[in-house]
Amino acid sequence: MANTDYQLIILGGGPAGLTAGLYAARDRLNALLVEKGVVGGQVLVTDWIDNYPGFPDGLSGFDLVEKMSAQAKRFGLETKNGNVVKLELSQTQKKLILESGEELTSQALIICTGARPNKLGIPGEDKFTGKGVSYCATCDGPFYRDEEIFIVGGGDTAVQEADFLTKFASKVTVIHRRDTLRATKVLQEKAFANERVDFIWDANVIAIEGDREVERIRLRHNNGEEKEIAARGIFILIGTIPNSEFLPLQLLGGDDRGFIITDDEMRTKVPGVMAAGDIRSKTVRQVINGAGEGAVAAIAAEHFLSGLD
Amino acid sequence: MAGENVKHLTDAEFEEYVLKSDLPSLVDFWAPWCGPCKAIGPVIEELAGDYSGKVQIVKMNVDDNPTTPGKYSIRAIPTLILFKGGEIVDQVTGAVGKTQLVTMLNKVA
């Protein structure tokens, strides 16, 4: 094998990356986890997690990540803060080029860069982000005490956060483009039972308007009817897009939405490069399978490094 | 080491301590219920030590101090605002990493 800085580099420190790091550290690999922000990823903004087994009373996303991080560090996982802007991949060497100009090399690489909130792509959305447009209920909800909030979406996040936001808001209205929700039934039941959660069905938000802050939204019903509603807060919770802009997707194998395709062992088309977590092309995006995929990827990396692969 | 380096500022202290200060200030607007805010806490602590004497690094709890966040139209946290001579030099929202904050702080340090 080529002479590299590390045997394994893990790119991204969410549940998948931290779990890969735990397995690599326990396997005594010379491994490094590179994270561009702070470890945790999207789960940091999850107010409460009741579906990660082992915690019968549930726990906050922050607490779960802190435990995962502490567990990986207990076995000596090294972490580094840095923003990777380019990858150069070959069979024997994986080179990461950071924004600072620094270069890191490894023999194996696990990509766990995750995903970020999707945008509606409508007029006013970017202009008013942080000024009435939000993608994170737990971060921004309390700024809307006793006000009315609108949510766009119909999946788990949208429906769970609708219920959560009634802690602060006087009323929460979920705007959904269909007439049924995609969210898990138990979350739907909770939202339907909450008298301060209301729904507008079969409608899309087509514009967000105001002067310095959000003042109103424009709705278009599926029957073609348009309507203007006064609004100060609109939470856009419509799924995620991959953090894959800087990745050589053609080389790795990517789907048409920019997620990485892997085999069952989390291997990409490039030998020694694995992907795990929300960056993968898949249908279920939960903390539990993100973590599971991190473990599988670390074991695949170990096999590659031992030449078994 | 928690809380050793970082002063917790109130609305009443803000003008005197930040706007009228000879030293530049980085204000971390946060709240205890915000996961990303808690996640960047240790980074803020570390930077407060590194930049001691060069940039004042302070935190303001937006729950206890609504006036200042209102004045700066803050409706998302964590928001970090860098002030110099009473003016905003730079501003960032979200769980940003140490490298990005160092780049920001070096504009005034």
DSSP state letters, A92-109:
S-EEEEETTS-EEEEEEE
Mean per-residue pLDDT, A273-283 = 97
User: pLDDT higher for A94 or B4?
Assistant: A94
The verdict on a CB contact (< 8 Å) between A139 and B76 is yes
- What tens digit of pLDDT does each residue of A105-151 get? 999 999 999 999 999 999 999 888 878 999 988 878 888 999 999 99
Ramachandran class of A217: left when φ > 0, alpha when ψ lies in -120 to 50, beta otherwise: beta
Exposure letters B87-98 (e unless 16+ CB within 10 A, then b): eebeeebbbbbb
Residue A1 has pLDDT above 60, yes or no: no
ipTM of the predicted assembly exceeds 0.90: no
Mutate to test the interface with B, among A139, A164, A208 (most CBs of B within 10 A): A139
Catalytic residue positions of B, numbered = 34, 37
* Residue A282 in tokens: 């898949």
Amino acid type, A302: E
**Burial grade of A250 (CB within 10 A; 0-12, 13-18, 19 or more):** exposed
Is A203 strand, coil or helix? strand
- What tens digit of pLDDT does each residue of B42-56 get? 999 999 999 999 999
- Mean residue pLDDT across chain A: 95
- What tens digit of pLDDT does each residue of A197-236 get? 999 999 999 999 998 889 999 999 999 999 999 999 999 9
The verdict on a CB contact (< 8 Å) between B33 and A39 is no
Residue A309 is predicted with a pLDDT of 58
CB contact, 8 Å: B8 with chain A?
no
pTM of the full structure: 0.86
